[in-house]
């Protein structure tokens, strides 16, 4: 079955005036899944190109996929203050209110999973079952060298930190990415409450991480501490896990439990 055609992006306006691009698929009267992508990705790259939209709509879901601020067709502020977790969760709430959605299921990957963790806690009456892919405990952004990244963007200076270089190389390889905005996002999201058993959502959660992803042990530990399900995505690392059919199948089976 081919993937649904890509509709024109529809922008909603966050409380701070930031435009958030959204894409709507499937029957609007069906149960809705809100799909939120990872760092330096986009709604279409993370969910449409990988088969998630096809499989979710085929399973009978209405899907709203969003470009998080700083990504895709959404606005890309260059100030770190625009990228607090409160702002990103606020974008989720704005989408729900604009589309007049009383309750959704949530599927998020990496950055989208961290936003999903917080959104599920803040919006327990609006978010039902939650799929969180590629999320560890703690703050993985503390190792990112913002100073090196900004010097590289502004002056072409060499990036010596391996993790920082990997993320910049990955982000720069995706058409339309604004590296300055993405670095501001990293800076804005540092610190603050991090995922842990003491602040776990009350909704049912499925954690999923690639077997080749270095964060798998931390992700598995977070799931165990929170008393939630964990799925090991076979043969996948952090960057290609969303392409896994096994991951999609596990997520669909988990979401379907709501109707049982």
The answer as to whether 83 is a domain residue is yes
The answer as to whether 149 is a domain residue is no
- With a pLDDT cut of 70, the percent of the chain lying above it is 99
Length of the chain, please? 260
**Structural domain count, the chain:** 1
pLDDT at residue 197, rounded to an integer: 86
The answer as to whether 81 is a domain residue is yes
For the cut 80, the answer to whether the pLDDT of residue 1 exceeds it is no
Measured distance CA(25)–CA(41) in Å, rounded:
19
The answer as to whether 90 is a domain residue is yes
The whole model's pTM is what?
0.96
**b/e 212-234 (16+ beta carbons within 10 angstroms → b):** ebebbebbbebbeebebebbbbe
The token pair at 207 is 């954690």
The answer as to whether 160 is a domain residue is no
CB-based contact 79:211 (threshold 8 Å): no
Which range of residues forms the domain containing residue 119? 10-139+193-259
pLDDT tens readout for residues 49-107: 999 999 999 999 999 999 999 999 999 999 999 999 999 999 999 999 999 999 999 99
DSSP-derived 3-state class of residue 92: helix
For the cut 90, the answer to whether the pLDDT of residue 259 exceeds it is no
Reported as a pLDDT band with limits 50, 70 and 90, residue 260 is low
Q: Which helix (H) or strand (E) holds 55?
A: helix 52-58
pLDDT at residue 138, rounded to an integer: 73
Measured distance CA(88)–CA(85) in Å, rounded:
5
Strand ranges of the sheet holding 32-36, from the earlier edge strand across to the other edge: 10-13, 19-25, 62-66, 32-36, 104-109, 127-133, 205-210, 229-233
If you ran DSSP here, which 8-state letter would residue 96 be given? Answer: H
The answer as to whether 130 is a domain residue is yes
Measured distance CA(41)–CA(240) in Å, rounded:
12
The answer as to whether 161 is a domain residue is no
DSSP-derived 3-state class of residue 164: helix
CATH of the domain at 223: 3.40.50.1820
The answer as to whether 61 is a domain residue is yes
For the cut 80, the answer to whether the pLDDT of residue 192 exceeds it is no
In the block, tokens 């067709």 appear at: 73
In the block, tokens 């010097």 appear at: 151
């Amino acid at each position: 079955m081919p993937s649904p055609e890509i509709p024109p992006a529809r922008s909603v306006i966050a409380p701070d005036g930031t435009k958030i691009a959204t894409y709507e698929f499937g029957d609007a009267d069906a149960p809705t899944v809100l799909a939120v992508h990872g760092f330096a990705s986009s709604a279409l790259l993370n969910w449409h190109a990988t088969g998630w939209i096809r499989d979710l709509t085929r399973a009978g879901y209405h899907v709203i996929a969003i470009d998080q601020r700083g990504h895709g067709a959404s606005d890309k502020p260059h100030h770190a203050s625009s990228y607090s977790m409160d702002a990103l969760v606020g974008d989720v709430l704005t989408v729900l209110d604009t589309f007049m959605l009383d309750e959704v299921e949530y599927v998020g990957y990496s950055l989208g999973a961290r936003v999903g963790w917080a959104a599920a806690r803040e919006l327990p009456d609006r978010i039902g079952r939650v799929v969180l892919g590629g999320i560890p405990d703690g703050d993985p952004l503390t190792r990112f060298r913002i100073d090196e990244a900004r010097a590289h963007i502004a002056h072409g200076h060499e990036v010596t930190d391996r993790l920082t270089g990997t993320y910049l190389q990955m982000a720069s390889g995706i058409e339309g990415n604004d590296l300055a905005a993405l670095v501001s996002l990293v800076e804005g999201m540092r610190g603050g409450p991090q995922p842990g058993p003491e602040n776990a959502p009350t909704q049912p959660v499925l954690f999923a991480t690639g077997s080749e992803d270095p964060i798998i042990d931390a992700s598995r530990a977070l799931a165990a501490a929170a008393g939630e399900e964990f799925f090991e995505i076979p043969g996948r690392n952090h960057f290609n896990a969303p392409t896994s059919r096994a991951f999609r199948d596990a997520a669909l089976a988990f979401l379907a439990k709501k109707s049982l």
